[in-house]
Structure 1
Amino acid sequence: MNKTLIRTTLAAVATTALVAGLSATAASAFSACQVTDTGGVDDKGFNETAWKGVQDAEKDLGIEGKLLESKAETDYEPNINSFISQNCDIIVTVGFLLGEATKEAAEANPDVKFSIVDFAYDPTIPNVLGQVYATDEAAFLAGYLAAGMSKTGVVGTFGGINIPPVTIFMDGFYRGVDYYNEKKGAEVVVLGWDPDSGEGLFTNNFDSLDDGRAFAKNLNDEGADIVMPVAGPVGLGSAALADEIGTENLAIIGVDADQYLTDPEKKHVYLTSVLKRMDATVVEAIKQAQDGTFEGGVIVGTLENNGVGLAPYHDFEATIPDELKKEIDEIGAGIMAGEISVKG
Structure 2
Amino acid sequence: MTTSTRKRVLGGLVAASLFVALAGCASAPEESEPTGEAGSGAEVVDGFLPCMVSGTGGFDDKSFNQLGKQGLDQISEELGVDSIAVESNTTSDFAPNIQSVLDQNCTMVITVGFDLAAAAAEAAEANPDVQFVSIDDIVDQDFDGETDFPNIKPIIFDTAQAAFLAGYASAAVSESKVVGTFGGKPFPTVTIFMDGFKQGVDYWNAEKGDNVKVLGWDGTDGLFTDAFVPDQKALDAAQGLVDQGADVLLPVGGGIYQSAASVIRDSGKDIALLGVDADVFETDPSVGDLLLTSILKGIDVGVVDVVREASTGDFDATPFIGTLENDGVGLAPFHDFESKVPADLQSELDAIIAGIVDGSITVNSYLAS
TM-score, normalised by the number of residues in structure 2: 0.83
Counterpart of 1:50 in 2: which secondary structure? Answer: helix
Q: Percent identity?
A: 46
1:342 and 1:321 map into 2 onto residues whose CA distance is 23
Tell me the CA shift for residue 212 of structure 1: 2.8
Tell me the CA shift for residue 323 of structure 1: 1.1
Equivalent position amino acid for 2:187 in 1: I
Counterpart of 2:320 in 1: which secondary structure? Answer: strand
Does 2:254 match 1:232? yes
Equivalent position amino acid for 1:326 in 2: S
Tell me the CA shift for residue 318 of structure 1: 1.2
Structure 2 counterpart of 1:261: 282
Moved more, 287-296 or 222-231: 287-296
Structure 2 counterpart of 1:305: 326
Structure 2 counterpart of 1:135: 159
Tell me the CA shift for residue 82 of structure 1: 1.4
Structure 2 counterpart of 1:5: none
TM-score, normalised by the number of residues in structure 1: 0.89
Tell me the CA shift for residue 29 of structure 1: 4.9
Does 2:221 match 1:199? yes
Equivalent position amino acid for 1:97 in 2: D
2:265 and 2:194 map into 1 onto residues whose CA distance is 23
Does 2:233 match 1:219? no
Structure 2, gaps ≥5 residues long: 1-44
2:92 and 2:262 map into 1 onto residues whose CA distance is 31
Counterpart of 2:224 in 1: which secondary structure? Answer: coil
Structure 1 counterpart of 2:14: none
Q: How many correspondences in the alignment?
A: 315
Structure 1 counterpart of 2:232: 210
Name which of 149, 169, 183 aligns with 2:193. 169
Structure 1 counterpart of 2:95: 77
Does 2:305 match 1:284? yes
Task: Output one character per residue of 1:192-246: Cα deviation in whole Å (capped at 9) or x when no partner.
Answer: 0011xx2110001111343333211210110100010002111111112223434
Counterpart of 1:194 in 2: which secondary structure? Answer: coil
Moved more, 176-185 or 80-89: 80-89
Structure 1 counterpart of 2:292: 271
Name which of 105, 114, 124 aligns with 1:96. 114
Structure 1 counterpart of 2:267: 245
Counterpart of 2:66 in 1: which secondary structure? Answer: helix
Equivalent position amino acid for 1:319 in 2: K
Kept in 1: contact 2:230–2:258 (CA 8 A):
no
Name which of 59, 73, 82 aligns with 1:41. 59
Structure 1 counterpart of 2:172: 148
Moved more, 261-270 or 203-212: 203-212
Tell me the CA shift for residue 141 of structure 1: 0.1
Counterpart of 1:274 in 2: which secondary structure? Answer: strand
Kept in 2: contact 1:209–1:234 (CA 8 A):
yes
Equivalent position amino acid for 1:91 in 2: V
Moved more, 176-185 or 55-64: 55-64
Task: Output one character per residue of 1:171-210: Cα deviation in whole Å (capped at 9) or x when no partner.
Answer: 0000000000010111100000011xx2110001111343
2:168 and 2:293 map into 1 onto residues whose CA distance is 12
Equivalent position amino acid for 1:123 in 2: E
Bigger relative CO (Cα 8 Å, ≥ 6 apart): 2
Counterpart of 2:245 in 1: which secondary structure? Answer: coil
Kept in 2: contact 1:208–1:234 (CA 8 A):
yes
Name which of 95, 105, 116 aligns with 1:87. 105
Does 2:150 match 1:126? yes
Counterpart of 1:199 in 2: which secondary structure? Answer: coil
Structure number with the higher helix fraction is 1
Structure 1 counterpart of 2:207: 183
Root mean square deviation, CA, Å: 1.5
Does 2:362 match 1:321? no
Structure 1, gaps ≥5 residues long: 1-26
Counterpart of 1:36 in 2: which secondary structure? Answer: strand
1:275 and 1:48 map into 2 onto residues whose CA distance is 13
Equivalent position amino acid for 1:189 in 2: K
User: Whose Rg is larger?
Assistant: 1
Tell me the CA shift for residue 46 of structure 1: 1.3
1:28 and 1:343 map into 2 onto residues whose CA distance is 44
Kept in 2: contact 1:58–1:64 (CA 8 A):
yes
